[in-house]
Amino acid sequence: MPELPEVETVRRGLAPWVEDATILSVRLNRPDLRFPFPEGLAAALEGRVVTAVRRRAKYLLMDLSDGRTLLSHLGMTGSWRFAEHPIDKPPRYYEPGTEPRHDHMIWELSHPRHGRSHLIYADPRRFGFIDLYDDVSTSPYLQGLGPEPLGNEFNAAALARAFRGRKAPIKAALLDQRVVAGLGNIYVAEALHRAHILPTIAAGTLVRADGRPKKALEDLANGVREVLIAAIEVGGSTIRDFRSVEGAGYFQHNFAVYDREGDPCPTPLCPGVVHRIVQSGRSTFFCPVCQKAP
DNA sequence: CCTACAACCTGACTGC
DNA sequence: TGCAGTCAGGTTGTAG
């Protein structure tokens, strides 16, 4: 899935075209994604205006004119895109026999300035999901999420509070959405490399005995922020099948370590080579020379 | 509290 | 060309 930069890229791509648009019709091509679609989803959406497109962690939130909010998670392979073809006679979405297999939900939109369009949610692996709330802040998915890494509450002190006493490897701890919300396998690897921290060390070793953060945690908080900002600036990463609303992102060309096993470490003057190990079943990429224990 | 692993799915790629 | 095996950006639940 899309991690935070990819979801933010999707949000920015959707917002200008979807905010203020009326959902004229909703077509569901199957009953479920990872979970069943909410009861009466199509009827609940039809006739509503989308008033805002927001993001929290890796969740996309669409506020509706009746006060409800649609929450969507893209899983590993979910995407929102507009139909490429001209919209003439809805609801004839595709030529017979040419319908893409994974276009699971299609909205017909009418926008006061941009006119009509079809917005499609596709998801080959169907790890994504959609839900609808009267008050989205009550959604169990949003409960317990850590701070937004680009918000004011995220800093070294927040990391120190979360990591104090924890023996889990720092890589696993950063993937924990309760610690900081929105990081995934790619950006954890990149942030740890920027901060020159070995992914295998226990998270608690970055906290001083008095509970205050060691210098390395300042570097880590900065590394997280910097890598996310840099990725958002170029539209996120496009690997395998991720696409933003408007097309490809380019951050994959800037990976320092992710999926670069055997490549020279890009840290200036570092003679190291990128290694790959497996931690809790997932690949970790790092440089064993310039990434160290504190 | 911790780790490992399986499960949910399809598609892309590798090696034989 | 085909086929089996492996791996993939996430989350959740289980067992140990």
d(CA A52, CA A30): 26
We report the CATH number of the domain holding residue A225 as: 1.10.8.50
In a domain, A59, yes or no: yes
Whole-number Å distance, CA A9 to C1' B12?
24
- Label residue A254 exposed, middle or buried (CB < 10 Å: 0-12, 13-18, 19+): middle
Same domain, A273 and A225: yes
In a domain, A151, yes or no: no
Domain stop point among A85, A111, A138: A138
Average pLDDT value over all residues in chain A: 91
Total domains, chain A? 2
A104 labelled binding-site residue:
no
Same domain, A92 and A183: no
Q: Known catalytic residue: A140?
A: no
In a domain, A148, yes or no: no
In a domain, A144, yes or no: no
Q: Known catalytic residue: A2?
A: yes
Same domain, A209 and A271: yes
d(CA A43, CA A163): 45
Same domain, A89 and A210: no
Which pLDDT value is given to residue A108? 93
A102 labelled binding-site residue:
yes
Whole-number Å distance, CA A280 to C1' C11?
14
We report the CATH number of the domain holding residue A118 as: 3.20.190.10
Whole-number Å distance, CA A19 to C1' B16?
53
Which pLDDT value is given to residue A282? 93
Q: Which residue is nearest to nucleotide C10 (CA to C1')?
A: A75
Which residue among A11, A48, A58, A243 is the active-site one?
A: A58
- Mean pLDDT, residues A271-290: 93
Same domain, A82 and A193: no
In a domain, A293, yes or no: no
Q: Which residue has the tokens 């909703």?
A: A26
d(CA A69, CA A71): 6
List strand residue ranges (DSSP E) for A57-133, in order. Answer: 59-64, 69-73, 79-82, 103-111, 115-122, 129-133
Give protein residues whose Cβ lies within 7 A of nucleic acid chain C: A 1-3, 6, 34, 57-58, 73, 75-77, 125, 127, 140-141, 175, 177, 183-186, 236-242, 282-283
Whole-number Å distance, CA A49 to C1' C5?
48
Q: Known catalytic residue: A95?
A: no
How open is the CA angle A258-A260-A264, to the nearest 5 degrees? 120
Same domain, A200 and A106: no
Same domain, A62 and A186: no
Instruction: Say yes or no: Cβ of A241 under 7 A from any atom of strand B.
Output: yes
Domain stop point among A138, A164, A194: A138
- Mean pLDDT, residues A227-254: 82
Q: How far is CA A163 from CA A49, A135, A184, A188, A227, in A?
A: 43, 31, 18, 15, 21
In a domain, A227, yes or no: yes
Domain membership of residue A68 as a residue range: 4-138
Domain stop point among A138, A170, A205: A138
Q: What is the pLDDT of residues A171-199, one digit of tens each?
A: 999 999 999 999 999 999 999 999 999 99
Q: Known catalytic residue: A36?
A: no
Greater confidence (A244 vs A40) lies with: A40
Same domain, A64 and A168: no
Chain A window 133-192: residues with CB closer than 7 Å to nucleic chain B are: 165-169, 172
A164 labelled binding-site residue:
no
d(CA A171, CA A173): 5
Same domain, A131 and A166: no
Containing A51, the helix (H) or strand (E) segment is: strand A50-56
Which pLDDT value is given to residue A89? 44
> Phi, psi (5° rounding) for residue A222?
-65, -40
Instruction: Say yes or no: Cβ of A125 under 7 A from any atom of strand B.
Output: yes
Same domain, A73 and A118: yes
Same domain, A92 and A167: no
In a domain, A36, yes or no: yes
Same domain, A184 and A65: no
Q: A62, A64, A59: which is closest to A47 by C-alpha?
A: A64
Q: Which nucleotides of B are covered by protein (CB under 7 A)?
A: 1-6, 8-12
Q: A163, A150, A226: which is closest to A190 by C-alpha?
A: A226
Look up residue A151 and give its amino acid: G
**pLDDT tops 80 at residue A221:** yes
Three-class HEC string of A184-242: CHHHHHHHHHHCCECCCCEHHHHECCCCCECHHHHHHHHHHHHHHHHHHHCCCCCCCCC
DSSP code of A253?
G
Q: What is the pLDDT of residues A84-111, one digit of tens each?
A: 655 444 445 566 666 678 999 999 999 9
